[in-house]
Structure 1
Amino acid sequence: MRLNRIELINHSRLKDLNIEVREHLVVIGANDVGKTSLFRCLNLILGATAQQLYQGITVDDLGQADEPFICRVSLIDFSDDERALFPDETTIQADGSEVLIVELSVERSPDDNEQVIIRRWFPEGTDRTPNRGQLDAFGWQYLPASRSSAIEFMQGRRSPLRSLLESTDLGADKQALVETLDAFNGKLESNTALEDLRNMIAEHLSRSMPKVIDKSELTIRTTADPNSDVLEDVTLFLKRDEGVRALADQSDGVRQLMTMTFFDLAKSGANMVAIDEPELHLHASSQRTVAELFASGKNQRLLVTHSPYIVQRFEPKHVLVVTADQEVRQIPSSSFSSVEKEMANWWSPRLLEALTSRRTLVVEGIADRVFIEACARKLGVPLDKLGITVLELDGADKFKHVYNLLGKNGFDLDIIGLVDHAERGSWMSALSIKPKNINKKVLFVANADLEDEYALGMGGPAAGQALIDEGVCREQGILQAAGVSAVADLTEAQVAEFARDRKVTSAVAVGKHVTVDQIARMPAVSGLFDYIKSLDV
């Protein structure tokens, strides 16, 4: 059994959504946009007991207080044993496939505005609430982000490690371990020093209790009962060069890796395994290792993550983007084939950063990004705070490939473009921009290229002097290349031509010296920042 579709209506943290779950689901987005809220809803409908539902849901979860909040999921691909548990609840679709619809509805109580009425049921089958066996059959397991400070997720009584130990068959050695434990307890009982300790404790207890306590009424032994669970008090330690250390004494990163390893092993029989922020406290290389572990699992994986290394291990069709406006985006099924062709070259950490931004400013290369970011600092425009990622392409011709992923046929994100004049055609077509709107919104076209832009805005002498001052070239070198005798004689065209052979270092140099007034004389750049300032961000 696995998730096939999720629908939310009237939730306080997310806009209404109706999404398809394709094998796996990887949810990404900026902080505080509702990613964890989505998983919380899934945990409530698929994993919570009735008591947990009323403990976990309040009127604050309702978007509109007078309307019900509804979470509805579709489950498909049943085994014979699972199908037998839902004889009257599954329905047959038009294509002949079976589906199980589960709905959670929450509404404010008519008798008390601070209380809610909760119903979890099968809307297309029976009116009954799922019983315990049916809840277990869903096979939902959830590891929340709050595990970061909770050692019980590793070795508590309900931890995955405890589940692994309890499911371990000791075989023929079990009786020998029981006898050894009994013998050990016997030694504790007969030890003279411990007998004296029991006698001392009994005397002190007798002074405060209604009746006299004899030492024979006290026993010192292990907490494990050899006759029920010989491994009850057993846990795991790490043996290192410095000695044996408990799990609680490990670093945060090691504890996280072990927690997820235990969880993954213990829940190998689950249908759906959901983990919120699997990258917590992990180095980039460990994030890649964890991503490989999850992506290769047999059960369905649902992840909330900020790690591009984890996202990269899954396919674009598995990714759900939650925007800053709390809307969701996923690639349409009709675009799978064209998007998959772009994965090898463009499904990278840099591109994935753009998926979580409010808007993506696409530029041709590194030099363009360096100069635009420098201008933003000079103008006091905080691109990061505004949620704008600057993505360089290593060539204008790459735009069509990236647009397949980010544009209307992909994740349908908001894109702004900065391009050289000669390359503007394909960008205009993709962004549906008319010539009259160039340098006013969405697409900004340099009057040749970026080198011409900043040489024009700064003037030949000022731009040339910036290159000299920052060590891009010697004064004599640029003068000789331009065929002039003094910096004051440098023209904009000469400086631009010189800078094109040193794109990145030139962009860094002029970015340090450019002024606000000079930026205002650059048509494409000034138009770009005027547009950014006008956005409702």
Structure 2
Amino acid sequence: MQVRRVVLENFRGVKSGTILLDGHSLLVGSNSVGKSTVCEGLELVLGPERMFRRPVVDEYDFYGGCYQEREGKLPEVRIEVVLTNLSDAAERRFGSHLRRWSAQTSDFLDMVPAAIEDAETGEWCLPVVFLGRYDPQEDDFIGGTFFAHPESVPDGLDGEESGLGAGLKSFTREDKRHCGFLYLRPNRTGNRALTFQRGSLLDTIVRLEAELAGPLWEKALRDLEQVAVAAAESGFGKIRTEIRDRVDRFVSLGDTADPVDLQASELTREHLREVLRLFIATQPGPHAVPFNRLSTGSLNLLVFALLTYIAELKGDKSVIFAMEEPEIALPPHAQRRLIDFVVKRMGQVIVTSHSPYVIEKFEPSRIVVINRDSKGTLSSNRVVLPGDFKLKRYRDNRRQFAEAVLGRAVLVVEGAAEAALFPAVSDVLEADPSVAGYVPLDLAGVTIFDAQNDVSVPLFAPVFKGLGKPVYGIHDQPDKPLDPKVAAKTADFTHYTVLNYKSVEKLLVAEVPVDAQRRFLATAAQRTDYPSGCARPDPSATDTAVNTLTHEVLRARKGDGYAALLIAECTGRSQLPAVLADLLLQIDRDLGTSASGGETDDTAHSDETDGN
């Protein structure tokens, strides 16, 4: 069973939006764009224990915080999820609630034109929905999950036509368990996930083991009842005896051997869930401590270990697993190992991440870019490589692609020298007081992508434009005119620049003032990697000799950061090559005032605030 479509209405920062998934999916996007909102919406619909939290929703779960009656109608949170890839058992259990799904239109088959319906039989899907609203009579919030199909017409008795989910049948906790949904927030990893509270990882393990071995809580309570906390020889034994003798003066005690006793727990399931703790001993010491005393990284790895346990208990391909930011406190190799495991063993994995080490583990077709506009409309774009774009090119640049996916904009350059050069130009612009309000590339969220040669720069324009990102390209004059098909791709750049020079080194020598070049040569000569084949700088050298030596040094150490060293000697915008400075200022203008990192959305809508 897999989540195929999520439709959100009036939920948190999302007024309306649709997310389409297809198997394992990685959700990426800027902070507070709605990734957590999507995952939280899935838990509201599919989480077996989610409805036990009170209140189910609150004021800030409604778009704009508006939940009071307006124009005679109460605002309602609505989250609909369509599940496909149903097992035979699921089709039998939910048969009366199934609809046919069209893979061509990503909608129900009975909603598409007859021509498509005749040509496509579609697969069975299960639509389910969460509804939430404010109840003014109870002055509280209510919510419930329902089968979204079929929807009967209420008969109007007892106000049924206005009740929550009127005309729909409840989607129960037992129904949800057949979906096998698990959800891990990053702030739950070291707190709730490793307790025995309802819906936690350990609670899931206990329930699955109980299905195989019989009731576990009852046996644990009986065993705990036999624990002698106040044995006769203990100090507590004397206290118990003294309490019994004094209480017996005023209260008629039972006719048992121990009418007054001390127990480690209230001996109820709920209390045992609260007090039971997992103890772990890790290297280098042998002493076991409660799990919450472990390091954050150890906690995350412990979660990973429990996931392997659940996967084995549930069986392959039977878990829908949503996980937020697995990179928190995990080293890169652990991030990759975790993703490899869940992708291979879970039926569907839905991951949010800002880590290139996580992103690079997903093929482009599995990456879903989330966007949200100022009006609260949520949308998604799947990474689709152009038909003539070789998959090998993507795989050879997988790490760079991962970083570009995270950026707000992409600057495609032709080589390592340029990739190091532009951050240096940006630093000079930032330090120049005459360039008021300029936001440097890193703070603006601009990713620099090394295409490795000038001819390849245009090839990446349609790729990044397809992600909905502004994309900029710059390269020197090619040795021969670009192929017409390649040249056509430059139209996808937001801004495209071809230098009037055959190399960036010639540009720098021609347009950086000679006094900056002299300072550069003096600094470079002190480095251990100064090219041995180049002469040492002479303070009395002519300007022409300085230009020649600068070019020789830059060429000899091309790609080693020497071009950036030269730019670092510039004292302001006036000493920078105009074409480079103008391009970065153009990017700054295009990204606007939000480039400083501030989100324009109301913080009350933030998907990071989940109300927990």
- Equivalent positions of 1:230-379 (< 5 A) are 235-238=278-281, 240-246=283-289, 247-266=291-310, 269=314, 270-323=318-371, 327-332=379-384, 338=389, 340-348=391-399, 350-379=400-429
Q: Which amino acid aligns with 1:280?
A: I
**Corresponding residue for 1:79?**
87
Task: Give 1:53 shift.
Answer: 8.4
CA contact 1:189–1:221 (8 Å) conserved in 2: no
The answer to whether the aligner puts 1:218 opposite 2:260 as a matched pair is yes
Task: Give 1:77 shift.
Answer: 1.6
Give distance in 2, aligned partners of 1:125 and 1:104: 15
- Equivalent positions of 1:383-394 (< 5 A) are 383-394=441-452
**Corresponding residue for 1:437?**
none
Give distance in 2, aligned partners of 1:340 and 1:144: 33
**Corresponding residue for 1:27?**
27
Task: Give 1:534 shift.
Answer: 1.9
For residues 488 and 87 of structure 1, do their structure 2 counterparts lie closer, same or farther at Cα, with a shift above 3 Å needed?
closer
* 1:415 aligns with one of 464, 467, 471: 471
Give distance in 2, aligned partners of 1:479 and 1:185: 85
For 1:315-371, what per-residue CA distance to the aligned partner results, in whole angstroms no more than 9, with x for missing partners?
A: 221111234856532124x858956444421222x3212111110111122211222
For 1:208-245, what per-residue CA distance to the aligned partner results, in whole angstroms no more than 9, with x for missing partners?
A: xx5266882123456598xxxx9996845336442131
Give distance in 2, aligned partners of 1:168 and 1:396: 60
The more displaced of 370-379 and 51-60 is: 51-60
Give distance in 2, aligned partners of 1:361 and 1:475: 30
Work out the number of aligned pairs and report it.
514
**Corresponding residue for 1:534?**
589
For residues 394 and 181 of structure 1, do their structure 2 counterparts lie closer, same or farther at Cα, with a shift above 3 Å needed?
same
**Corresponding residue for 1:100?**
126
Identical-residue share of aligned pairs (%): 18
Q: Which amino acid aligns with 2:43?
A: N
Give distance in 2, aligned partners of 1:341 and 1:17: 34
CA contact 2:13–2:64 (8 Å) conserved in 1: yes
Task: Give 1:294 shift.
Answer: 1.6
Structure 1 gaps of 5+ residues are 435-440
SS, match of residue 13 in structure 2: coil
For residues 4 and 342 of structure 1, do their structure 2 counterparts lie closer, same or farther at Cα, with a shift above 3 Å needed?
farther
Give distance in 2, aligned partners of 1:476 and 1:47: 66
Q: Which has the higher contact order (CA 8 A, sep 6+)?
A: 2
Give distance in 1, aligned partners of 2:387 and 2:341: 24
For residues 359 and 489 of structure 1, do their structure 2 counterparts lie closer, same or farther at Cα, with a shift above 3 Å needed?
same
CA contact 1:457–1:518 (8 Å) conserved in 2: no
- Equivalent positions of 1:143-182 (< 5 A) are 143-150=184-191, 152-158=192-198, 159-165=200-206, 167-168=208-209
For residues 335 and 376 of structure 1, do their structure 2 counterparts lie closer, same or farther at Cα, with a shift above 3 Å needed?
closer
Task: Give 1:429 shift.
Answer: 2.6
**Corresponding residue for 1:431?**
490
For 1:258-316, what per-residue CA distance to the aligned partner results, in whole angstroms no more than 9, with x for missing partners?
A: 02321452365353111112222112222122122222113211111112212222222
SS, match of residue 282 in structure 1: coil
Root mean square deviation of aligned Cα: 4.2
* 2:99 aligns with one of 74, 91, 106: 91
Structure 2 gaps of 5+ residues are 101-108, 110-116, 152-166, 431-437, 596-612
Q: Which amino acid aligns with 1:371?
A: L
CA contact 2:36–2:324 (8 Å) conserved in 1: yes
Task: Give 1:137 shift.
Answer: 2.6
**Corresponding residue for 2:182?**
141
Task: Give 1:50 shift.
Answer: 5.0
**Corresponding residue for 1:3?**
3
Give distance in 1, aligned partners of 2:482 and 2:15: 36
**Corresponding residue for 1:456?**
510
Q: Which amino acid aligns with 2:551?
A: A
